[in-house]
């Protein structure tokens, strides 16, 4: 096993940074590891216009650490009412890189999401025309569909027809969780790629449910059977250009996770690239970490590969029990604590210099 690995600086192609006083700490963790990140628009209210994205971008840039040249790449939230003109404006802006489709009710802050994809066809046609990628949270939300089958049914009922109707539309199938998604992405000639999270590579639903229910392992799409985990590991570590890194790191305060009805989302930005290194090492495929983390996403988005390098060393460190969530350091209660993935446990890879 190598003791260190040096790769082109990686990018996170799916990230939740939130807003307000929690922004600074979250940006710091990501900027330490990644050169760029695709920033999700599911704020309250959602980021639906170029003007809102410009203001949000300013708030993020204001808290980027001085020693970092981290670049946020913005997205707009697709709604039933998004117009072709908004897509045109986004494309013109240069800093908005994509639109995000949340089926209404699928996850955190998705109430304003899409109720019927046909309502978005004029906007999607414009995306296809201009080459603007559509990022998709691929889950059916119908009450009669089992939560573990939401992704599989989405492929049949929504994604396949969408690909047929828009054969040139660039699509990122976000945070895939099943072999059905892997097989679909691998088998189609459509310009579609998929992001895979570190937590779906490292865990399956047993980790969440055996021996007690672990709210910090609850996210959407929910962790699946270990056979699906194996399919994701194979896809991510294969070197295929169709798969790339997207953490879906999704912070919520401790009190919003450890409650009778907990929020969905795992926080992984404190150790994101280190966790991917762990997953690739377990698969004995560290040689393909760079393609997944630093090359494939940039190619899909038509952006240059980062010239900077990042070195990871195989050295254990202890994950803190919690991070301060927000800037009010006097308040140490659970509403101001962020529990990171593997809190209190050891991680085997470390960024050189940390
Ligand atoms: O677990 C999740 N959390 N999945 C999502 O799709 C959204 C995210 C969030 O924003 O908290
Ligand atoms: Zn997400």
Tokens representing 84 are 């072709």
Ligand 1 neighbours, Cβ below 6 Å, are 16, 42, 107-108, 137, 219-220, 250, 264-265
**For residue range 181-216, what is the model confidence (pLDDT) as tens digits?**
999 999 999 999 999 999 999 999 999 999 999 999
The residue among 297, 282, 210, 295 whose CA lies nearest residue 247 is 297
pLDDT tens for 283-333 read: 999 999 999 999 999 999 999 999 999 999 999 999 999 999 998 888 889
As a whole-number percent, the residues of the chain with pLDDT over 70 amount to 99
> What is the 256 CA–ligand 1 centroid distance (Å)?
13
Beta strand spans in 197-287 (E): 243-245
* pLDDT value, residue 354: 72
pLDDT at 332: 87
Q: Ligand 1: which atom is nearest the Cα of residue 265?
A: 1
CB under 5 Å of ion ligand 2: residues? 248
CA 233 – ligand 1 centroid, Å = 21
- Ligand 1 pocket: which of 17, 19, 105, 108 to mutate (most atoms within 8 A of CB): 108
Token digits of residue 288: 């393909």
Q: Which residues are designated catalytic?
A: 248
- Residues β-bridged to residue 314: 349
């Amino acid at each position: 096993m190598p003791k260190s690995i040096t790769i082109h600086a990686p990018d996170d192609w799916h990230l939740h940074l939130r807003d307000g006083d929690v922004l600074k700490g979250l940006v710091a963790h990501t900027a330490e590891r990644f050169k760029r990140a695709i920033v999700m628009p599911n704020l309250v209210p959602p980021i639906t216009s170029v003007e809102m994205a410009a203001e949000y971008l300013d708030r993020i840039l204001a808290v980027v650490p001085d020693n970092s040249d981290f670049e946020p790449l913005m997205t707009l939230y697709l709604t039933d009412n998004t117009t072709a003109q908004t897509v045109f404006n986004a494309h013109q802006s240069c800093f908005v890189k994509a639109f995000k489709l949340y089926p209404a009710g699928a996850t955190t802050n998705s109430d304003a999401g899409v109720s019927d994809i046909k309502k978005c066809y004029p906007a999607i046609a414009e995306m296809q025309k201009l080459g603007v990628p559509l990022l998709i949270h691929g889950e059916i939300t119908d009450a009669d569909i089992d939560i573990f089958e939401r992704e599989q049914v989405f492929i049949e009922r929504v994604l396949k027809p969408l690909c047929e109707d828009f054969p040139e539309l660039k699509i990122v199938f976000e945070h895939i969780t099943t072999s059905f998604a892997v097989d679909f992405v691998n088998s189609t000639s459509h310009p579609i790629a998929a992001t895979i999270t570190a937590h779906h590579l490292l865990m399956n639903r047993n980790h969440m449910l055996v021996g007690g229910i672990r709210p910090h392992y609850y996210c959407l799409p929910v962790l699946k059977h270990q056979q699906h985990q194996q399919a994701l590991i194979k896809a991510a570590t294969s070197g295929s250009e169709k798969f790339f890194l997207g953490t879906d790191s999704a912070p919520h305060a401790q009190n919003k996770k450890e409650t009778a009805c907990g929020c969905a989302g795992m926080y992984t930005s404190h150790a994101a690239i280190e966790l991917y290194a762990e997953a690739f090492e377990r698969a004995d495929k560290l040689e393909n970490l760079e393609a997944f983390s630093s090359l494939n996403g940039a190619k899909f988005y038509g952006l240059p590969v980062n010239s900077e390098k990042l070195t990871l060393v195989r050295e254990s460190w202890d994950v803190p029990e919690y991070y301060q969530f927000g800037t009010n350091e006097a308040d140490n209660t659970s509403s101001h604590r962020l529990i990171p993935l593997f809190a209190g446990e050891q991680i085997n890879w470390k960024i050189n210099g940390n």
